[in-house]
Every structure is written in structure tokens, then in C-alpha cells.
């Protein structure tokens, strides 16, 4: 029996849909949700829904009973995530789960000097806890979601151009649905015990090259400006962008610039069994109709 956490989120839904599409019976899939009201579509697909909040250890132990393989989708609460993930891992162990699969994050700099230490630290802690849990594990080092690019670019990118402190360094962004499909392949097949996989695209692309793709789509030049991180923060702050967002955009863009997401050897294509969606294809899908 397979259990997927975060089943009402994007990655969880896409993983479950992939499992069903690939012929896994809905009677072999359990969805963990914290809000049952959001799970009507899962129930209509015949998937068993169990309620469990990452903050509630007892609830998790109950929800994980009878589960062999569990996909822990990393939580979105950056403040409490360490404890939440620890709860899930310990509850899985107590309930007798044999194999835990975890959506971790690509990174190179594991110190506090990383511009994305605010997300990387809890992934590192969680990976270590999982490895020392005694359960079989599979760690997925997910690269940046390509799906976030429009958010980074801003709504008026075709008029204003791209303004991000990412320099000319390339990154191997991958589509969330491609990573979720590859995750489903891991959940439904054997041979992934105690492995760490890198889920990144096969090609590395700079933000400048993406602006060139946007220019081709728009039929006019879409510029790319890469200011210093300081100037970027000052500009967005003056434009009244909330501080949390400024920190997030600045941190990720600076990390791209420092090569945190440049990857030469990815497992995504192999596990997916096809080429992952390219940045160019993604940008065409999103912007060609606008």
C-alpha cells in the first residue's frame, strides 16, 4: 500500500494522477490530507483519504498503519518544518512503514552562507533523519520548479523585461508535473532503496536565454537586466513589494547566480523514461497565448 502526503497540493495531486494513469489501482493508494474538505476529487477517484496534520504525531501514526511505501512531500511551513518532518518520519517508523521517499531540494552550498539557507537547512536535516531512521529511503533532490518562472518574472514581463539578480549562470529548472510523474514511477517500482536521485532538467538555461525565448514568442525584444542583489532589494522595496517576497526572489535569484541549480548529471530523464519538458517548451505554453 502506497501513501502520498500533501495530497491536496500540486505535487501530491500530480503524483497520484500519474499513479492512476499508469495503472496502479486506486485501492492501493492512500492520500494524506490535513483538510478533508479539500479531498473530494481524490475520493471521487476511489483513493482512500486519511486525515493527518504534520503537527499531530498521534494522527500520523494512525494514518500510516498498513502502509509499505510513503511519499513525504516537504511541507510549506518554513518555520515549523523541521519538527513537522521529524513527526512524519518517526510516525512512519512507529507505524511500520518500510520505505520512505522524500521530495528534497537541489543545493551545493550546505552552509549558512547560502542565499537559500532558509529553505535548504530543513531539507538537509530531514535527509539526515530519514537516512538514520532505519527505513529504506529514496531522496529526490528536486531542482527549481519551472512553474515558478512566471512568478519570478512578474505579470508585465513582456512589456517591462526581466529584472532579476541571476547573472548569466545557467540552472536546470524542471516542470513540477515531470518530477511528480518520475516520483510516481519510483513509488510503483522496486530497486530504489537507499538511493539519492537528482531531479533536474537535462539542459541548463540562463535567465538571459529565457528572455531571448520570450523575445521570440513576443516578436519584439524582451530585455534582461541583472542588477546587484542590493540594488534589486532596494528597487523592489521602493515599489512596495512585501519584504517576504523580496527576500524569496532575491535569495533564489542570487542562488541561481552562484550556480546552486546548475546540474550536469540528472536522473530525471532516466526515471521519467522520456526527455523532461524544456524551458523553451514551457515558456511557449505559458506565454504564446498571451
Return the residue nearest ligand NAP (CB atom).
9
Compute the least distance from the CB of residue 174 to ligand NAP, in Å: 8
Q: How far apart are CA 81 and CA 59, in angstroms?
A: 17
Q: Which is nearer to ligand NAP, 76 or 160 (CB)?
A: 76
Is the Cβ of residue 191 or residue 266 nearer to ligand NAP in the bound state?
A: 266
Whether 142 and 173 have beta carbons less than 8 Å apart is answered as no
Residue 215 binding ligand NAP, by CB under 6 A: no
The minimum distance between CB 9 and ligand NAP, in angstroms, equals 2
Nearer Cβ to ligand NAP (83/212):
83
- Show Cβ contacts of residue 147 under 8 Å, excluding neighbours closer than 6 positions: 10, 175, 176
Spatial separation of the C-alpha atoms in residues 130 and 124, rounded to whole Å: 10
145 binds ligand NAP (CB under 6 A): yes
Among 2, 42, 67, 73, which residue interacts with ligand NAP (rule: CB under 6 A)?
73
Cell 530525471 belongs to which residue? 268
Give least dist CB 12 to ligand NAP, A: 5
CB of 32 to ligand NAP, least distance (A): 7
Number of residues that this document lists for the chain: 290
Q: Which is nearer to ligand NAP, 48 or 158 (CB)?
A: 48
d(CA 11, CA 66): 23
Asked if residue 75 binds ligand NAP (CB under 6 A), the reply is yes
Helices first, then strands: H and E counts in the chain: 13, 11
Judged by CB under 6 A, does residue 225 bind ligand NAP? no
Residue nearer to ligand NAP on the CB measure, 215 or 267: 267
Helices (H), 39-175: 40-44, 57-63, 81-95, 117-131, 149-153, 157-160
If binding is defined by CB under 6 A, does position 38 make contact with ligand NAP? yes
Q: Name the residue among 232, 259, 226 with its Cα closest to residue 246.
A: 232
The 245-284 site mask, x for binding ligand NAP (CB under 6 A), equals ----------------------------------------
Please calculate the CA angle 108-114-115 and round it to the nearest 5 degrees: 120
Asked if 14 and 176 count as a contact pair (C-beta separation under 8 A), the reply is: yes
Name which of 12 and 165 has its Cβ closer to ligand NAP: 12
Q: Which class for 103: exposed (0-12), middle (13-18), buried (19 or more C-beta within 10 A)?
A: buried
Among residues 10, 83, 212, 284, the one that binds ligand NAP under rule CB under 6 A: 10
Supply φ then ψ for residue 130, to 5 degrees. -65, -45
Residues in contact with ligand NAP by the rule CB under 6 A? 6, 8-12, 34-35, 38, 53-55, 73-77, 84, 103, 105, 142, 144-145, 148, 176
Amino acid at each position: 500500500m502506497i501513501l502520498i502526503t500533501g495530497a491536496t497540493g500540486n505535487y501530491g495531486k500530480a503524483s497520484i494522477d500519474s499513479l492512476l494513469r499508469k495503472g496502479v489501482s486506486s485501492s492501493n493508494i492512500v492520500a494524506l490530507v490535513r483538510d478533508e474538505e479539500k479531498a473530494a476529487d481524490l475520493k471521487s477517484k476511489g483513493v482512500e483519504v486519511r486525515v493527518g496534520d504534520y503537527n499531530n504525531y498521534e494522527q500520523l501514526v494512525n494514518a500510516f498503519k498498513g502502509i509499505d511505501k510513503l511519499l513525504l512531500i516537504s511541507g510549506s511551513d518554513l518555520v515549523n518544518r523541521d519538527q513537522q518532518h521529524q513527526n512524519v518520519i518517526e510516525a512512519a517508523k512507529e507505524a511500520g512503514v518500510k520505505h520512505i521517499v522524500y521530495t528534497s531540494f537541489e543545493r551545493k552550498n550546505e552552509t549558512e552562507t547560502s542565499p537559500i539557507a532558509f529553505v535548504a537547512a530543513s531539507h538537509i536535516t530531514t535527509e539526515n533523519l530519514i537516512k538514520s531512521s532505519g527505513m529504506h529511503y529514496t531522496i529526490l533532490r528536486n531542482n527549481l520548479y519551472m512553474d515558478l518562472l512566471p512568478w519570478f518574472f512578474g505579470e508585465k514581463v513582456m512589456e517591462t523585461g526581466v529584472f532579476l539578480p541571476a547573472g548569466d549562470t545557467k540552472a536546470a529548472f524542471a516542470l513540477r508535473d515531470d518530477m511528480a510523474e518520475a516520483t510516481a514511477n519510483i513509488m510503483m517500482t522496486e530497486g530504489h532503496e537507499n538511493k539519492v536521485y537528482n531531479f533536474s532538467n537535462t539542459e541548463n538555461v540562463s535567465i538571459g536565454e529565457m528572455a531571448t525565448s520570450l523575445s521570440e514568442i513576443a516578436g519584439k525584444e524582451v530585455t534582461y537586466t541583472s542588477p546587484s542583489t542590493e540594488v534589486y532589494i532596494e528597487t523592489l522595496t521602493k515599489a512596495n513589494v512585501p519584504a517576504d517576497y523580496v527576500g524569496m526572489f532575491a535569495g533564489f535569484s542570487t542562488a541561481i547566480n552562484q550556480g546552486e541549480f546548475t546540474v550536469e548529471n540528472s536522473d530525471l530523464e532516466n526515471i521519467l523514461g522520456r526527455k523532461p519538458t524544456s524551458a523553451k517548451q514551457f515558456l511557449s505554453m505559458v506565454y504564446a497565448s498571451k
